[in-house]
Amino acid sequence: MNYSVHFLDRQADFDKTMEAIAGAAWIGFDTEFVGEKTFVPVLCLLQVVVEHHIYLIDTLRIPDLSRFLDIVTDPAVLKITHAGDNDYRLLNTLYGTVPQNTFDTQIAAGFVGYNYPAGFAKIVERELRVTLAKSHTVANWEARPLDPKAIDYAVEDVKYLPNLHHKLTHKLQMLKRENWAREENRKWEDAATYRVDPYKEALGNDFIHQLDFKEKIFLLRLYAWRREKAAALNVPKETVLQNRHVSAVLRATKGGENAFKANRTLHEGIWRKQLPEWETLWKTPPTDAERDLLKSLPTPAPDDPDREWAMELLYHFVKRRCLENEISAALLLPKGEFNKLVAGNDHDQTLLSGWRADLLGDNLVQWLKRQGPVSMDWEDGKCVLKMG
């Protein structure tokens, strides 16, 4: 398919174009952004493919994207992406956008035999017999004018989306998995997907279980302080305080300035200006909300070699079921979420429902929910797995 490529860098031209394509049955799109320099990523380029046209939209020069965002939220228009979670999260962060009617080629590929997450170039090569250039996957998207090679890369990122959608949809229909893919895409259409837990960094760190009550409170506050400081300065959190220094700061703050001076891993430039604020965080009594939060923190399960063996065995059993059905295990049951399930921590409740439950079968789903004992024995020369 040959496309006419248009570069839009004026608001009036952009608005007119978006108005013209608002009634389209589908669009494909991608974003290019820079996220390593600031707390809030900078959207630099938006690529849209529709019918016989590709539009490269200079978002550094077009301040109002509302007409495009209206299309993203319009349930009558199908949105085709690859690894669209990055794009949708960015649009939600910047504009509060929650998309409707989505189709992701990376997700679809996971249902038809590809490992998840499969790269765009790999899927394009296998499905469309086209080899993409890979030299410009990292470009300076803030530079103007854009490098011609970067423009070529931006065009390639969307020009194959319509044909991929067609090919993968056909395969999904043949396997009767179109509804499964639709269910998986639907998570991006739920506002809850984009809610950020302000305590996720602290509570997701195993280090917190090694601390006493006051230290846990300080750790919660230290991560919150870093996030708020980074947001105020619009710089990455690592610029404010690197992750590798968090535990050292916690231990040294208890001992005051002399403890920092004695710690050779912490350069004075890291702590000197921040110490008064950290000491305030340390000395301030805990709030009721902080107490309640720590009460809800699950206690790590004691070491149980038999249970660990059983769960690891069952995970491989799940992977085997995926191999038999040519579905990526990472799509069905991501190892991180499986580990949360094993540990008894909060996990994605959809992991044991919907298409996943259909594929795993009722027996395995019910066992995973109650997590009874597992035993293995040999019967008539066969290895038999028994779940209690």
**Per-residue pLDDT tens for 351-371?**
778 998 888 888 777 777 776
Q: Residue range 259-265: average pLDDT?
A: 90
What pLDDT digit, counting tens, does each position of 283-336 carry?
A: 999 999 999 999 888 777 677 777 777 777 778 878 888 888 999 888 988 877
CA neighbor of 68 nearest in space, from 44, 43, 46, 45: 46
Contact 140, 114 (CB under 8 A): no
- pLDDT, residue 351, reads 72
- pLDDT, residue 280, reads 97
Q: How far is CA 364 from CA 217, 311, 356, 378, in A?
A: 39, 12, 11, 20
Question: What gap in Å lies between CA 106 and CA 115, rounded to an integer?
Answer: 9
Q: Which position has the token pair 């399960």?
A: 301
Taking every pair of Cα atoms in the chain, the longest distance, rounded to a whole number of angstroms, is 77
Query: Which helix (H) or strand (E) covers residue 186, if one does?
Result: none
Task: Say which amino acid occupies 60.
Answer: L
Contact 185, 104 (CB under 8 A): yes
The answer to whether residue 90 scores a pLDDT higher than 90 is yes
Q: How many helices (H) and strands (E) does the chain have?
A: 21, 8
| Per-domain residue ranges of the chain | 4-194, 200-295, 305-387
Do 4-194 and 200-295 come out as alike in CATH topology? no
Question: What gap in Å lies between CA 74 and CA 93, rounded to an integer?
Answer: 19
The answer to whether residue 69 scores a pLDDT higher than 60 is yes
- pLDDT, residue 348, reads 59
The answer to whether residue 124 scores a pLDDT higher than 70 is yes
Q: Which position has the token pair 């795993």?
A: 360
Res. 347 pLDDT band, cuts 50 70 90: low
Domain 4-194 class in CATH:
alpha beta
- pLDDT, residue 163, reads 97
CB atoms within 10 A of CB 378: 8
Contact 220, 199 (CB under 8 A): yes
- pLDDT, residue 206, reads 79
- pLDDT, residue 299, reads 74
Query: In Å, how far from its chain's centre is CA 144?
Result: 29
Contact 159, 3 (CB under 8 A): yes
Question: What gap in Å lies between CA 306 and CA 201, rounded to an integer?
Answer: 30
- pLDDT, residue 81, reads 98
- pLDDT, residue 370, reads 73
Query: 345: number of CA atoms within 13 Å, CB side?
Result: 16
- pLDDT, residue 388, reads 64
Q: Residue range 200-208: average pLDDT?
A: 84
What is the CATH code for 305-387?
1.10.150.80
Mean pLDDT of the chain: 90
Q: Residue range 230-255: average pLDDT?
A: 94
Res. 11 pLDDT band, cuts 50 70 90: very high
Q: Which position has the token pair 């179109």?
A: 178
The answer to whether residue 135 scores a pLDDT higher than 60 is no
The least confident of 15-29, 144-158, 297-311, 336-350 is 336-350
CATH topology assigned to domain 200-295? DNA polymerase; domain 1 (1.10.150)
Q: Residue range 167-194: average pLDDT?
A: 96
The answer to whether residue 346 scores a pLDDT higher than 60 is no
The answer to whether residue 177 scores a pLDDT higher than 90 is yes
The answer to whether residue 134 scores a pLDDT higher than 70 is no
What pLDDT digit, counting tens, does each position of 38-61 carry?
A: 999 999 999 999 999 999 999 999
| pTM of this structure | 0.89
Q: Residue range 88-111: average pLDDT?
A: 97
- pLDDT, residue 172, reads 97
Question: What gap in Å lies between CA 186 and CA 376, rounded to an integer?
Answer: 39
